[in-house]
Structure formats: structure tokens, C-alpha cells
Amino acid sequence: MKNLRRKTLAAASAVSLGVGLAVTGGMAPAASAAGPDTTYLVLAPQGATTDKAVARVASARGSIVAEYDQIGVLVVRSTNPEFAADVAGAGVDSVAATTGLGSAIEEGETVEVDAAAVAAAAGDPTGEPLYGQQWDMPMIDVPEAHAVTTGSANVVVGVLDSGISSSHPDLASQIAKDKSASCLGGVVNTSEAAWNPTTSDHGTHVAGTIAAAINGVGVTGVAPGVKVAAVKVVNDDGLIYPEAAVCGFLWAAEHGMRVTNNSYYIDPWELNCRNDERQRPVWQAVQRAIRYSQSKGVLHVASAGNSNYDLAHKNVDDGSPNDGSAPVEVREVNSACLVLPGEAPGVVTVSAVGPTGAKSYYSSYGTGVVDVTAPGGDTRFRTQGARSTLTDGILSTTFNTSTKTNGWGYKQGTSMSSPHAAGVAALAASAHPGINPGALAALLENTAVAQSCPEGVYNPVPLIAAGPHAYDATCAGGERNGFYGAGMVNAYQVVK
């Protein structure tokens, strides 16, 4: 995830949203000159089937590429420049083009561990040569948890991300290939090549934190006994589009996943505003997908963001859009604007801490928004921001997309804290078979180790180049607070 803050969406980016009269009786509208091939989300009324919407799409000269009747959502492509207006009417609740709504995943810098260093690394009680550099694992009592269980192979964690390297020696045995798929374009593709990484190793790094094998090769995951499924939602340009996320949540729901990890946000404006005409259909479609998957037993875990932003007091967004499609704008925002999926109801939202257990300088926060915290790395705290100490990041599995080689390396971000929480949730689901998503979320919070707010204005990086107050933050709350939620997730406490 990326830097935050915003303004009203530019009118030029919006397509007519279909508030006018529509043609009825199946009569096709008069043909107009073809426009660009555009993807749309078409939503039927809540609780209704998509039958009428399907008919309207056909009459408006659209082609359905994915039909999610479970939630009343269609993914449609059309070259009709008046499609949004033409499709409106009975059986269609809302429609929006997703052009320009791809959010860039924040890659962060990957610092790879030299192969010779891996070979020379000393062993460890886990049997993993690089475990001694995984300061994050003892922080959440992973060794103690593994003495009880490493997790059940019946528990599958969906990694909604950029794909997972199926040839990585720490992950090859850990991937549920029969439950892995690409969801790019909102369309399922189950070929192994489709769900492997192409231009990003973000998903491979996340997957290693969750479930890297104990096999004497590299690192260990929080829950090495469980399986991960690659659900590719990040395209080769590094963008996540709403239709891919909807597909991912539905795929997880229909394939028995117990947990998903979501280290991203949807929409290049980090806050999705439900009162914005263009963004509202995205919120509705994604929320329906999340609710449906929760009803099928899936708990979603998401990162809070890397903007050092108080999500409980939203007023300005001055760091969006993040997809490079337009200059960064400034917009006023309010409580109708939410990080999606992190602030969707029932989703466990995770902030990040560094090796001391204090909030990472970049981590977003917010009372009533952050549910728990977990290690995400903080490479700047030792020097007050002047320089990076790379080993204070999170060490996990990597895939060099240039050389097409597997390895291990460091990243930092709430993208790294979220999979720690997802791994703990997977251990909990293993130890408590049949637990429902609500009870699983409650268990994560109730077993978390409370972290106290620091006094006054918090800023561990006053020497950072962005300026002495660029990362000022103030924590509010008591035992449960805006920086850490209920506290640090604890792997042992959920399984003992």
C-alpha cells in the first residue's frame, strides 16, 4: 500500500453512470460509433438475480465476461460509449466503468539475501538456516505455537496478490494448486502459469510469511502446516482492479478457504467514498463479495496502509491517485470514505510494528479501525530516519522477476504485517476446526497482547528526508487504541 490523502474525483475520469431513461422491451439502442473497449461492473438490485441485468447488458451492446449471480454482479466489456446510460433501468441497480480504477500495489524495495549467505547461515531450533534473521517470529511467539501445532493442511489461506512462485523451494510443497487461480480482468484462469508471478514478487513474499515450509532450506512461516492458494489479482502493470478483487473474494468463498490475506487497497484513491457517484458501485460490489465469502466461512485479513494516516479522523487526501494516470490531487474526505477492503465490516485490519514493538513510522492507524497489530518492519527507527537498516525489515521468500530466480529477501510495510495476522488466524482455525469468521476474528483480538500508546506526539524518524514532522502521529485510547488495536497478535495464545 502507498501514501495517502485526496480531492473529488475529476469529472473527466467519470463515465455516464446510467441515471437516465433506458430502452425497454429488449429493443437495442441506436448504434453509435464504437468507443474504447471498456470494463464495467453492473450490479443487480441487492438480493435479486442477474437475469434482467443480463438482458439489459445484451441490449446495450455489452458482453458479459464474468457473472457472479451469488452477489448480483456482472463484469461486462463494451465498446458502446453510451453503455452505462443504455444499460440502466429495471434489473440494474448501478453501473460503473472500472477504467482508471486500478490501484497500484506498493512494491517497496526488496533486498535479496545473497545465495552464499543463505548457504553459510547457521542452523536454528526450527531447522531453518535463515530463521535467526526472522526477528518477527519470536515477537509473536511462533516457536511456542509450533510446539503445539504448525497448522493443518486442511486450512487454506488465499493470498490475494501478485501470484506465488510455485517453484520456490520454501513454497512448492505449500501451495494448494487446485485452489489457485488468476482473477485478472474478473475472469478465472486456473492454469499454473496464470497464477505465478510475472512482474512482482509481492505475493511470494507474503506467502512465505504465512506458510514457508520447515524443510531446512530458508525461512519458516507462521503456519507452515497450512496451505496457501495463489489468487492473482495484481496485473503486470502492478494494478488491482475492482473486478479482480470481486473475483478473488468469490473464488475464495467457493473453494473452501478459511482465511484470505489482502495487502492492498482497491481504487487508486486510497479512500473509497460511498457518497461518490463513481466509487459507490465499487464499494457495493466489493462489499457484497466480502459478505458472501464471510457467509461461506472465510475470514479476511487486510493491511491498514503505509500512509501514517489517522483513519479515524479523515479530512484530506493529498496523495492520490496512485496509478500514475493523473497528477496527485487534493480532496476533502469524510467518514463516508473508507480504505477498502480494510474498513469493510468484518475484515480484520492490521497495523505494523518494528523490532521494538513500537508502531512502524509509516503505518496508518486509527481508533476503531485498527483491530490488531503485527510485525511489518521498520528500517528507519535506529537512525531516526536518516538511513535504512535493512535487516529490520521482514525476511521472507522472494522471486526475482528479471532473472526468474527464487530467493529470500527483506521488505517492510503493512503488506508484511497483515500476513503475520493471517498466519496466526490460520493456526487458530487449525486448532479450532469449525470456528466461524466472527469467532475467529474475536479470538485474534482476545488473545492479542495489549500495547500501550506512547505519550505525546510520536515520531521515531525526525531526521527523515521528508521533514522533521512528516511522520508525526498521536495515539488515542487505552488498552485498546488507535496504534495497535487490541494488541500484538500471538500465535501461541490462539493454539494453547
- Reported in sequence order, the residue ranges of 333-461 that DSSP labels E, i.e. its strands, are 337-339, 348-353, 372-375, 394-400, 405-411, 457-458
Query: In whole angstroms, what is the distance from residue 489 CA to residue 486 CA?
Result: 9
Catalytic residue among 415, 417, 418, 430: 415
- Reported in sequence order, the residue ranges of 44-107 that DSSP labels E, i.e. its strands, are 62-68, 73-78, 94-97, 103-104
Catalytic residue among 161, 201, 267, 276: 161
Catalytic residue among 146, 202, 255, 300: 202
Q: Is 162 a catalytic residue?
A: no
Buried-state track 103-138, b at ≥16 Cβ within 10 A, e below 16: bbbbbbebbebeeeebeebeebebebbbbebbbbbe
Nearest to 270 by CA among 294, 237, 244, 302: 302
Q: Which residue has the cell 505519550?
A: 455
Give Cβ neighbours of residue 207 (< 8 Å, ≥ 6 apart). 159, 161, 164, 171, 174, 175, 221, 228, 230, 397, 419
Query: In whole angstroms, what is the distance from residue 43 CA to residue 35 CA?
Result: 22
10-15 long-range Cβ contacts below 8 angstroms, 24+ apart? 10/326, 10/329, 13/100, 13/278, 13/326, 14/277, 14/278, 15/84, 15/96, 15/97, 15/99
User: Is the CB of residue 106 less than 8 Å from the CB of residue 114?
Assistant: no
Q: Is 51 a catalytic residue?
A: no
Alpha helix segments (H runs only) across 308-412: none
Query: In whole angstroms, what is the distance from residue 163 CA to residue 299 CA?
Result: 20
321 cis-preceded (ω within 30 degrees of 0): yes
The CA-atom distances, in angstroms, between 38 and each of 15, 75, 79, 158 are 10, 10, 6, 28
Query: In whole angstroms, what is the distance from residue 412 CA to residue 435 CA?
Result: 31
Q: Is 78 a catalytic residue?
A: no
Under DSSP, is residue 422 helix (H, G, I), strand (E, B) or coil?
Answer: helix
Nearest to 398 by CA among 423, 385, 416, 414: 416
Catalytic residues: 161, 202, 415
